[in-house]
């Protein structure tokens, strides 16, 4: 596996947690939830364990201890290596310095929104706004319930995500208002055009 294949947000999250101190996967999962890292890193099923396996194979982390607490199964503790430290620093620099070339599906849909009727488009934008508002409020409630001793620096990505939600809510309100007022011109798509038949057999 190439180092390029390991350059993911999940890799950065695991390496960052292990640079703080050696940890076992269960503790890492708990911290991901506590620090709201799930806002930017999606953990599904065994994705964390899969990532740990890849990082061990790449020499970026290593198992340093295996222990058991009471009747719980054995837990392997992992620590970051020198190569892992170099990688977490390089990834952090790369992710901070320049915007990534991302192609979100919402932006793609906006480029072709005129394919829908005005009424349906507005309805869908309002539905999106409602979902964003619900997510914003949910995260705000979670942040308010966090212990006060959690450093702000480990929650910056959540603050950023919340700021983006607030900005999108304001933008959606403005666009919907323009559509309602008739200030946003809609492209006319011919409705009587007969699609061409496929020439494939």
Do the Cβ atoms of 61 and 55 come closer than 8 Å? yes
Residue count of the chain: 201
pTM of the model as a whole: 0.71
For residue 3, pLDDT over 80 is answered with no
Q: Are strands 61-67 and 75-80 parallel, antiparallel or unpaired?
A: antiparallel
Residue entry with tokens 């932006």: 107
pLDDT digits (tens, 9 = 90+) for 36-51: 776 667 777 678 889 9
Average pLDDT over the chain, rounded to an integer: 86
Task: Quickly list H helices, the chain.
Answer: 9-20, 25-34, 47-57, 82-97, 105-111, 118-144, 156-181
pLDDT digits (tens, 9 = 90+) for 120-166: 999 999 999 999 999 999 999 989 988 888 899 989 989 999 999 99
């Amino acid at each position: 596996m190439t180092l390029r294949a390991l350059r993911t947000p999940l890799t950065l999250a695991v390496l960052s947690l292990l640079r703080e101190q050696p940890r076992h996967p269960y503790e890492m999962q708990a911290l991901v939830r506590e620090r709201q890292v799930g806002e930017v890193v999606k953990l599904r099923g065994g994705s964390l364990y899969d990532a740990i396996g890849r990082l061990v194979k790449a020499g970026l982390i290593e198992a340093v201890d295996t222990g058991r607490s009471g009747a719980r199964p054995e837990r392997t503790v992992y620590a970051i290596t020198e190569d892992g430290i170099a990688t977490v620093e390089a990834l952090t620099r790369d992710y901070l310095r320049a915007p990534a070339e991302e192609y979100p599906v919402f932006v793609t849909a906006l480029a072709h929104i005129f394919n829908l009727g005005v009424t349906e488009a507005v309805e869908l934008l309002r539905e999106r706004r409602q979902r964003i508002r619900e997510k914003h409020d949910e995260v705000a409630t979670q942040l308010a319930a966090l212990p006060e001793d959690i450093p702000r620096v480990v929650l910056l990505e959540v603050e950023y995500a919340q700021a983006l939600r607030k900005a999108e809510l304001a933008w959606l309100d403005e666009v919907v208002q323009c559509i309602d007022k008739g200030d946003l011109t809609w492209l006319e798509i011919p409705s009587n055009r007969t699609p061409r038949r496929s020439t494939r057999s």
